[in-house]
């Protein structure tokens, strides 16, 4: 079925309310992006989300939108706390898949001669690949429960990080209300030896350089300067989060039938926020989100250790500090003003990043004057971006923006395009060192599989829902 779209301006498109829709859809995209979107199913998913009970404001899609499970990836939707629903499809399988950015005092010329050694150390110290696990760290049952409740703070308590790290993580590295009793034995088993691992797919660990500063004053507040070495960590809740989603999809299918919720797509199965099923899912989701925060915190410790091993200087001397850590796949209660009235909403961000504005109390004090840092990774062969949130974006998108470049090729199509090519040599010719657990994942993640993230963030900038601060270029990439 063709989805009707109406152009509002150069980067906004409305999907007008019709049929069972309770609100409009609003898509951020340029003309070329929209032409491509009209050939696939993601716009239909935006429309489907608009039919869910209690939705407040439009069903939103960011410029990295592509087809996903239930909600499109790049989808955002807010639901009234009393009349709305929560849907695992609006969070995704990889709960709290997210990105952390570290800065250093190093300049690129200090690191480039040792890039191969650094890539080897990172690949050795941070397990990656399908089913990756740490042989030297398997949590006891009691320890795993603490991780699920305390998140990144548990790792810091073990001496691997600092209070300053926690101050620069969304929600302080811990979602409140987590209840490990609501997780299946299978979910707990899958997570027990995967803390501190990257996994596979589009997850990565990347050493980068600051290639361009767009806003010098904002960059100064974030501690960024041209030629600086940074590190990006992109991973989530691993098998534990996947299992939580899988377990609760079955719960939500029954709940939707129980509460008489009409679904245009079974993948949008949901339950009222104030129902036992809704509360249980949020408490289980919080466990997986906290596991992901702890995972990125532990990987940060291994990154610091790797730099120390290769460069012979302490992490403190290198000033390897956390700029920020953001969630991509999450549903959280937040306060927003809608039509002049403050309301408590459950905001689903699925492949989308929170982007709170200057002055917001949930932005760390050190960044409050400029807004929340927003981290937008691209593909392994091009570049990534650092942005900050805006007041206009907070009003229009519930403080949300894109989370990456967005796929344009399926993994199968990417593998087919990569057949016969030497991707590692192609990257080396661009000055990028690659270490990967398997060639299959590398083929799936070639640059051509993604939109150009520069085009994506320019739409964000033009729409006023984010403000570009800096561009980062990859030097060394570790993948599953």
Active centre residues (catalytic): 403
Tokens of 339: 């039509």
Residue with tokens 């949901």: 270
């Amino acid at each position: 079925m063709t989805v009707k779209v109406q152009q509002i301006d150069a980067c906004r498109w409305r999907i007008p309310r019709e049929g069972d829709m309770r609100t409009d859809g609003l898509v951020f995209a340029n003309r070329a992006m929209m032409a491509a979107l009209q050939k696939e199913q993601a716009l239909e998913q935006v429309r489907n989300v608009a039919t869910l009970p209690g939705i407040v404001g439009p069903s939103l899609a960011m410029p990295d939108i592509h087809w996903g499970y239930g909600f499109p990836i790049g989808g955002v939707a807010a639901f009234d706390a009393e009349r709305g629903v929560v849907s695992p499809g609006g969070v995704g399988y990889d709960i709290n898949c997210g990105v952390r950015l570290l800065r250093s005092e190093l300049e690129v010329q200090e690191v480039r001669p040792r890039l191969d050694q650094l890539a080897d150390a990172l690949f050795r110290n941070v397990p990656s690949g399908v089913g990756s696990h740490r042989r030297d760290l398997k949590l006891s049952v009691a320890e795993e429960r603490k991780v699920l409740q305390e998140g990144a703070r548990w790792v810091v308590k073990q001496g691997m990080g600092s209070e300053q790290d926690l101050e620069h993580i969304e929600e302080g590295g811990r979602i409140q209300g987590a209840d490990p009793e609501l997780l299946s034995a299978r979910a707990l088993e899958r997570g027990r030896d995967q803390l501190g691992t990257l996994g596979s797919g589009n997850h990565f660990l990347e050493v980068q350089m600051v290639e361009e500063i767009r806003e010098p004053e904002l960059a100064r507040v974030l501690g960024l300067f041209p030629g600086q070495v940074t590190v990006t960590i992109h991973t989530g809740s691993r098998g534990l989060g996947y299992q939580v989603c899988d377990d609760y999809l079955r719960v939500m299918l029954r709940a939707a039938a129980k509460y008489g919720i009409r679904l245009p797509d079974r993948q949008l199965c949901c339950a009222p926020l104030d129902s036992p099923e809704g509360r249980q899912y949020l408490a289980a989701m919080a466990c997986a989100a906290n596991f992901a925060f702890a995972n990125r915190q532990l990987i940060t410790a291994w990154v610091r250790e790797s730099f120390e091993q290769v460069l012979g200087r302490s992490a403190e001397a290198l000033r390897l500090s956390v700029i920020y850590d953001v969630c991509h796949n999450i549903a959280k209660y937040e306060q927003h003003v809608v039509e002049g009235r403050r309301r408590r909403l459950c905001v689903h961000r699925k492949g989308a990043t929170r982007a709170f504005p200057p002055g917001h109390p949930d932005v760390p004090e050190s960044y409050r004057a400029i807004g929340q840092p927003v981290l937008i990774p691209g593909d392994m062969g091009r570049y990534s971006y650092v942005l900050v949130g805006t007041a206009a974006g907070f009003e229009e998108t519930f403080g949300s923006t894109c989370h990456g470049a967005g796929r344009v090729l399926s993994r199968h199509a990417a593998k087919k395009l990569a057949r016969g090519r030497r991707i590692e040599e192609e990257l080396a010719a661009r000055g990028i060192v690659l270490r990967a657990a398997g060639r299959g994942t590398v083929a799936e993640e070639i640059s051509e599989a993604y939109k150009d993230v520069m085009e994506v963030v320019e739409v964000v900038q033009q729409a006023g829902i984010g403000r570009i601060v800096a561009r980062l270029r990859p030097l060394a990439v570790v993948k599953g």
